[in-house]
Structure 1
Amino acid sequence: MNGPARLLSAATLALLLVVAVAVPAEPLIRLEPVAEGVHVHRGGHHSLTSPDRADIANLGVVIGTDCVAVIDTGGSVAVGRALRQALAELTPLPVCWVINTHVHFDHVLGNAAFADAQTVFVGHVGLAEAVAASRAFFVEHFADELGGGEDAAAQVIAPSQGVTDTLELPLGGRSLLLKAHPGAHSGQDLTVFDMATGTLFLGDLLFVERAPSLDGSLLGWLAVLETLPGAGVARVVPGHGPVSVAGPHELQRLREYLESLRDGVRAAIAEGAVAEDAAAGIAAAEAKRWALFPEVHPRNVVRAWMELEWE
Structure 2
Amino acid sequence: MIAAGLARWALLGAALTAAAQGVASAADAPASPITIELGRRLFYDADLSINGTMACATCHEQHRGFADGNRTHPGALDHPGKRNVPGLQNVAQLHHFTWASRATTDLEHQAETPLLGQRPIEMGMTEAVLAPRLKASACYTKMFAAAFPEKNGEISLTTATQALASFERTLVSYEAPYDQAKRGGAPLSAEAEAGRAIFDGKGGCRVCHSGDNFTDDAFHALEPAAAGDRGLADETGRAEDSGLFRTPGLRNVALTAPYFHDGKAPTLAEALRRHGLALSEAETGALAAFLESLTDRSFLADPRFSLPDAACPL
Same-fold call, TM > 0.5?
Answer: no
Relative to the length of structure 1, the TM-score reads 0.28
Higher relative CO (CA 8 A, sep ≥ 6), structure 1 or 2?
2
* Bigger Cα Rg: 2
Relative to the length of structure 2, the TM-score reads 0.28
The structure with the greater share of residues assigned to strand is 1
The structure with the greater share of residues assigned to helix is 2
